[in-house]
Amino acid sequence: MRHLCATALITSLAGCGDDGTGVVSITAGVSTTTSTSQGSSGVDTQDPTGSTSSPTSSTTDNSAGSDTSGPTTSTTSPVTSSTTDEPGTSTGTTDPSGTSTGTTEPSTDGTTDDTTSTTGPQPCAEDQVQCSGNVAQVCDGMGGFKSETPCPELCVEPLGCVACDPGATKCDGNQVLVCNDQGDGFVAGDSCDPLLGLSCDANFGQCVGACANIGTSYIGCEYYPVVTQQLDVFVGPANPYAVAVANTTGNSATVTVHRGANQVVQQMVAANSVAVINLPWVTELTNGTGPTVKITDGAYRLRSTQPVTVYQFNPLNADVTNDASLLLPVNTWTGNYLVAAWNHWNPYPGFISITAHEDGTVVNVKAPKNGVPTQAGGGVDAQGNGNNITLNDGDVLQITTANGGDPTGSIVTANKPVQVIGGHDCTQVPIGITACDHLEESMFPIEALAKKYIVAPPVQQPNNALEKAVIVRIVASEDNTTLTFTPDQPVNKVLAKAGDFVEIGQSTNKYVVEADKKILVTEYMVGQSAGYGTSDPAMLVAVPSEQFRSSYLFYAQTGWQANFVDIIAPNNSTVQVDGAAVNNFTAIGASGYSLAHVKLSNAGNGSHTVTSDTKVGISVYGVIDFGSYWYPGGLDLDVIPQ
C-alpha cells in the first residue's frame, strides 16, 4: 500500500499588463490594467499627496521620459490597433486622488505600420468557464458572459460551481477522503492503518506516522511472506519456516502478522534489533511437487508500526536444502516483472510465486519462447501461459514446471501491484553436481532493473583465500537486446526476444555486463561436489550499482557454519561492517569498483550493519556442509528510466 495522500492546492493565476508590471483582470469584455511606475523625467509629476500637477493628453512610448509617476488606470477596447506614425486622440480626466483615467480612441487616418499590436488579452473562448471570486462566469467568446452564477460552495476553473476542489482531502476517522475529478463529492483514498502506526491528520487530510511516505527501498512497513516449494521431509514444526524482522529505527516496533482475517502473531521488536518470528507452513504451497495452484489467503500479511527489513527463511534452520529471500515492501511493488528460476530436475519443479495485495488483481503470465513445459492449473496452461487470472488480497498463484520446463524469462504483468518470487523446489547446479538445494529469491520490478551490473563470486569456506564458482544468467526485458562484457565473456551477445537469456558456465570470473536495454542478472552457487568448498546451490538476484546504498541493516542467521557479507564498492571507499573498517578490498578489473568478502561474527543476535562514505552493494550468505542461503542484503528500488 502506498501511503501517499494528496493535499489540495488552490492556485490563483495572475496575468501581466502590457508593460509587464501590472495585473490584468477581464470583466464584461473590458481590460483593466493597474500599473505603478517610478517617474524621473516623465510628463506628469506627483506630489507626496498623490495628486498630479498637470493631467495631459499624450501618447506614450518605451522611452524613460514617457513614464507616468502616478498610478494610472486606463480603459481600452478588448482589441485596439495603434499606430506609431500618428497617435489617436486621447481624452483624460483626473480624480481628486490623482489617479488618471483616460479613454483612447483609435487613429482615424487609417495609417498603420509593423508595430500594430494587441493592447489586452483576447476574450475567453465561448462556453469556457472562469471564476470571479465565488461566481462562475460562462464566456460568450466576444468579451462578455452568457451567464454569471454565484456558487453555493466553491468555484473552480474550468469546472465552475463544485462541491469540493478536485484532489482536496479530508479525514473520516482513519480514512482519507479525496474530492473526485468532477468536484461533486469525496471518494475513499488511503486508509491510515493503525497496524502500520498511521492515523489521519485532520489538519492536512492525510496519513501521518513513521510509515507514511517512507520512500522506495528494501526498508518498509508492510510485507507478504509466502512459503514456496520445499522437499516434504523438511516441512514441519521441528524445521520451521520463519521471517527475520530487523527494526531500523530508534523506536520499538509492533509487528502483527495475519493470514486472511486471522491474526497469527503479534510481537514487539526492540529498537535497532532483530526478531525471528516462526510461522506455520502452508502445506498447499510447499508440499508435493505440483501442480500449479491458486491458494486463497496463501500468503501472510506482515505489518509494522515502524520501518523494518524482512527476510524469509525456507526453512529457518541451517539444513541441507535451504534458501532465503529478501522480501520487498508493498510500497515498492509494481505490475511488471521478469522472472529468473531454474530448470525442472525430475521430479522437482522450478516455480514462480505471485502474491496480490489488492482485491481484483488481474495477472497475466507469458512464458518464454512461447511456452515451456508446465504443470497446468490455477488458470495457467501446460505451456506456462496464463491470462486474466484474478487474485484477491493475500492470494497466491504458484506455477510449477513439468519435465523439461524452465520458467526463467517468464514475464508477469498485473493491473495492480504484485510480489513475484522465482526459484526451485530442490535442484543441482549445474545438473549432475551433487547435491540438490532449495532456491528462491524475490524478483525486482522491471522498473527497478538497469542496464549495467557488476558480477562477482562469493568466497569459499573454509579456505577464505579462494572464491566459489557461480553460474550466471542474464535475461532480456526487451527484444533485440545487445550485451557487452568487460572483460569479455564467451557467450552470445544478442538476445532476440524479451525473456531470452544467456548462461555463463561455472567460473570465478569478475566482470561488468552492460546492455542497451534493461536486463535481469542472477547468480547461482554451484553444488559442493564441484570442488569449491563447503555449501550447495543458492540463488542471488544481482543489484545494479544505481540501486546501491550507503548504509544497511541486515540479518544473518547464526546457526550456519559461517556467514559472510560481500561488498562491492567504488575504489578507495571507506566502509565499515559492524563498526570495523574493511581493509581487504580487491579491484574488479578496470571497472572502478572493488570487492571485499567479510566473515560475520555469529556471537550476536544475527543483526549487522554496513556503512560507507559512498554507495555500495551487498549480498549476504551462509554455508554448512551441503547447505547454503544467499540474498541481497538490501537495495534502493528507485524507478530507472529505460
How far, in Å, CA of 194 to CA of 183, rounded?
A: 29
pLDDT of residue 258: 98
User: Do residues 129 and 81 lie in contact, with contact meaning Cβ atoms separated by under 8 Å?
Assistant: no
Position with higher pLDDT, 105 vs 228? 228
What's the confidence (pLDDT) of residue 319?
A: 82
Q: What is the pLDDT of residues 467-496, one digit of tens each?
A: 999 999 999 999 999 999 999 999 999 999
pLDDT of 183 over the 70 cut = yes
Q: How does residue 381 score in pLDDT terms, banded at 50, 70 and 90? A: very high
With a pLDDT cut of 70, the percent of the chain lying above it is 81
64 vs 40: CA distance, rounded Å:
8
| pLDDT confidence tier of residue 248, bands split at 50, 70 and 90 | confident
What SS3 string covers 60-98? CCCCHHHCCCCCEEEEECCCCCCCCCCCCCEEEEECCCC
Q: CA-to-CA distance for 438 and 426, rounded, in angstroms?
A: 4
pLDDT confidence tier of residue 124, bands split at 50, 70 and 90: very high
CB-based contacts of 435, cutoff 8 Å, min separation 6: 320, 428, 527, 528, 529, 536, 626
Evaluate whether 608 touches 564 at the Cβ level (below 8 Å).
Answer: no
SS (H, E, C) 128-157: CEEEECCEEEEECCCCCEEEEEECCCEEEC
Whole-number Å distance between alpha carbons of 500 and 516: 15
Cα–Cα distance, 342 to 229 (Å, whole number): 13
pLDDT at 225 over 80: yes
Once rounded to an integer, what is the mean pLDDT over residues 578-588? 97
* Per-residue confidence (pLDDT) for residue 634, from 0 to 100: 97
Single pTM value for the model = 0.79
